[in-house]
Structure 1
Amino acid sequence: MTIYSGPVFDMCKRQFDITADYLSIPEDERRRLLYPKRAIAVSCPIHRDDGSIAVFEGYRVQHHLTLGPTKGGTRFSQHVDIGEVAALAVWMSWKCALAGLPYGGAKGGVTVDAASLSARELEALSRRYMVEMIPFVGPRTDIMAPDMGTNEQVMAWFMDTYSMYQGHTVNEIVTGKPVASGGTEGRREATGLGVAHLVGRALDRLGIAASGSTAIIQGFGNVGSVAAVALCERGLKIIGIGDHSAAYFDPRGLDIASALKHAVQHGRLSGFSSELEIAPDQLLLQTCDVLVPAALERVITENNVAKLKCRILAEGANGPTTPEADALLDLRRDEVFVIPDILCNSGGVIVSYFEWLQGQQQFLWGKEQVLQQLYDILDRTFSRVVTRAASEKISFRAAALAIGVEKVRSAKLTRGLFP
């Protein structure tokens, strides 16, 4: 029996089992590698603006601390549960190990519709959540970051709350803060820029010119919108975009600047156009050179994977492809170049690492240095994944997961089991 359940954790476990089988990891090691070190569930009561008291459920899962502190985002979403949070923490572990970062994975969240909260209520919930987490987090234990439903302002409230309890400013307790509060240049855009950079590497490898190539972005939040703008700057034509409210498609190309302006003003894409709207479930299935799922987990399944008409699948979201769909994609390895999620969306945690370093050293980097270091790490990691996949004749996802799991396993074996 386990507290970790649900479709997202089941998917995460299935991915791990496939990787463990490939690496011939003994059965008695597997549970220690997969299951989290610690899971915290808390109640977060706040005063609503009408004077009533509301209680929200909060979670934090720390997968392992073998390589260093844990690292991961905190999301405010109606759909947060312990199984989903645990799966995201596990994926973050493999992601950090793959990129060579001295972290284990973590994830947190509060089950709430953040859009239903006033600004004061959002601040109250943010501070209360951090208060409940103080016994379990710290700059050498677990470092938080933004995720779905949270942003730079929420991170500033987290940091301020933790610092007030410590009696001095501890800005390295969170990353993704405003630059004015100790954040780093380039952090907000890092994940989306990383996606675009790796798409560029894939295009080069396939011998496809970026100029004139087409791309579809599913998910137009921070990751998807930044990736869309960066791909446009590389010469690609964005022919499809979508979010939770609407999807739009035009083979002639969409005006991304106007779409971004609309999304910022209204908080959603709905209403952007009355002529170009397409059913959201059809957006992924349109013909394009580059498809970027940058929204939720499990959007590419065994039911639609055969209908994908892209040359490159760049996974900006965590876990967008189910294992069943991945097995079918593997049969199309020569047709679809997959940049797996733990590589494709790792830009955010890489630049978070830079922010953490700067916070500890009290030495700030410029944006140019941040991005150059980001692209250097992405290039090295991309090359390692591609080289291993070619040498062992496996998929890029299998290669990426194998590298990540091997590193964590090796660290656990060399440190031993205490006491």
Structure 2
Amino acid sequence: MPAENSTLANMRTQMDRAKQYTEDVDDNVFTRMKHPERTLTVSLPILRDDGTLEVFEGYRCQFGGARGPYKGGVRYHPSASMEEVIALAGLMASKTALVGLPYGGAKGGVQCNPKELSRDERKRVTRRYTEGIRRMIGPKMDIPAPDMNTGPQEMAWMMDTYSVYEGYTVPEVVTGKPTEIGGTPGRVEATGRGVAIITDRILTHLDRSVENATVAIQGFGNVGSWTARLLAERGAHVVAVSDVSGGVYDPDGLDVVGLAEHVERGETVTSADEGDQISNDELLRLDVDVLVPAAVSHAITADVAADLRADIVVEAANGPTTPAADDVLVERDVPAVPDVLANAGGVIVSYLEWVQNTQEYTWTLAEVNADLERRITDAFDEMLAVYAEEETPDLRTAAYTIAIERNATAHSYRGLFP
């Protein structure tokens, strides 16, 4: 059983809340949809640079494949666990259904601290992990992608390892690769671009403008930094950002491009000569137009939601808001755009990369960005329609209602084997 208030328990609670607003979803099908189809734990013995051997633990979960191949990232983090991977795979199954992609959900992880690994050690971890899960993955079965603390280089190593066993190059086995070996332009910034698009859309829906809107972003990794840069391009004032070291705040707006370049050199946000230093907790309580949690799960608890002074929440992280916090935000009339939509830009462009690889044809950056914007805005409009027509309590419930109906329909058509 998942621990109370875990990401897995929260996901199932959110599904239960949405079930009552769905139409003709069979109870037996719904029960089946709340559980993963398969999970794998692999031991990864790695020779460290100093000659010692260390055994890491890795995971892969496949969840809800009725709509197509499984799709989901691989994260490297000390807190990675099988339960977390199952929950994130479940979120992916809802996310791909919500934005209309022919995928199920998957997620992988390795329990390690990548900051303590050299480049060669990361390569050994990646190759050994790929060998461990290679019987589960494939371009028509399960397509990994980058996630927390992984990127194009890890995807290149995964593709190469898989291809060595197949005996020929298989670029479509992973997405998020470097463009030189089959990656697509726009993939690195895709999740942040999707968050920026959705932030613009929710502000417009509320008769407000992204121009001059104040934004605070918790988390300044790939997603948070690109969200900041792309919102700034649209005229927003990003007044606060943070990472594990803490945050910086300037009511007149930060130089987010300079900050991103500083962080890309391996520095922390707080070591930059920008703004006044604040804590992550203080950032969550700033008086801003939009709060973007882009770091860890469960950042917005009921207590934080009660003190939160942002007018809107746009979830760039996976599972940043607890169900109890959702209740508080509804009571306070603070709209929250859920993670399954707001951060779907990454999986949308991963799908576009996979399509290009399978067709052996490449698209331009403009074509990729246009397709991303069309798909994510269509999903946003569908979510708003369900929110209004079904009178769901919040946008998350509306989003899950759509995802559950689409996944349930696929399950019903295919039936239960045997």
Q: TM-score range by the shorter chain?
A: over 0.9
Counterpart CA distance in 2 for 1:283 and 1:328 is: 19
- Which residue matches 1:207? 207
Counterpart CA distance in 1 for 2:76 and 2:20 is: 35
C-alpha contact (below 8 Å) 1:5/1:83 kept by paired residues: no
Give the TM-score normalised by the residue count of structure 1: 0.96
- Which residue matches 2:402? 403
- Which residue matches 2:107? 107
Counterpart CA distance in 1 for 2:61 and 2:291 is: 31
- Which residue matches 2:316? 316
Counterpart CA distance in 2 for 1:199 and 1:269 is: 23
C-alpha contact (below 8 Å) 1:74/1:145 kept by paired residues: yes
Counterpart CA distance in 1 for 2:246 and 2:324 is: 27
Amino-acid identity (%): 43
- Which residue matches 2:198? 198
- Which residue matches 1:252? 252
Counterpart CA distance in 2 for 1:140 and 1:404 is: 22
Q: CA shift at 1:381, angstroms?
A: 0.6
CA deviation vs aligned residue, 1:180-211 (integer Å, no higher than 9, x gap) = 11000000000001111111111211221222
Call closer, same or farther: CA 1:237–1:274 in 2, change over 3 Å: closer
Counterpart CA distance in 1 for 2:331 and 2:270 is: 36
- Superposition map of 1:18-417 within 5 A: 18-23=17-22, 25=25, 27-273=27-273, 276-333=276-333, 336-394=334-392, 395-417=394-416
Instruction: Report the 3-state secondary structure (helix = DSSP H, G, I; strand = E; otherwise coil) of the residue aligned with 2:303.
Output: coil
Counterpart CA distance in 1 for 2:180 and 2:301 is: 42
Instruction: Report the 3-state secondary structure (helix = DSSP H, G, I; strand = E; otherwise coil) of the residue aligned with 1:87.
Output: helix
- Which residue matches 2:10? 11
Q: How many residues align?
A: 415
Counterpart CA distance in 2 for 1:267 and 1:155 is: 24
Instruction: Report the 3-state secondary structure (helix = DSSP H, G, I; strand = E; otherwise coil) of the residue aligned with 1:300.
Output: coil
Larger displacement relative to structure 2 (317-326 or 389-398):
389-398
Q: Supply the AA of the counterpart residue of 1:344.
A: A
C-alpha contact (below 8 Å) 1:194/1:344 kept by paired residues: yes
Instruction: Report the 3-state secondary structure (helix = DSSP H, G, I; strand = E; otherwise coil) of the residue aligned with 1:58.
Output: strand
Gaps of 5+ in 2: none
Instruction: Report the 3-state secondary structure (helix = DSSP H, G, I; strand = E; otherwise coil) of the residue aligned with 1:380.
Output: helix
Counterpart CA distance in 2 for 1:312 and 1:182 is: 38
C-alpha contact (below 8 Å) 2:155/2:177 kept by paired residues: yes
C-alpha contact (below 8 Å) 2:214/2:237 kept by paired residues: yes
Counterpart CA distance in 1 for 2:8 and 2:230 is: 32
C-alpha contact (below 8 Å) 2:250/2:276 kept by paired residues: yes
C-alpha contact (below 8 Å) 1:315/1:340 kept by paired residues: yes
Q: CA shift at 1:407, angstroms?
A: 0.5
Q: CA shift at 1:5, angstroms?
A: 4.9
Q: Supply the AA of the counterpart residue of 2:365.
A: K
CA RMSD of aligned residues (A): 1.4
Q: CA shift at 1:27, angstroms?
A: 4.4
Larger displacement relative to structure 2 (368-377 or 311-320):
311-320
Gaps of 5+ in 1: none
Which of structures 1 and 2 has the larger relative contact order (alpha carbons within 8 angstroms, sep 6+)?
A: 2
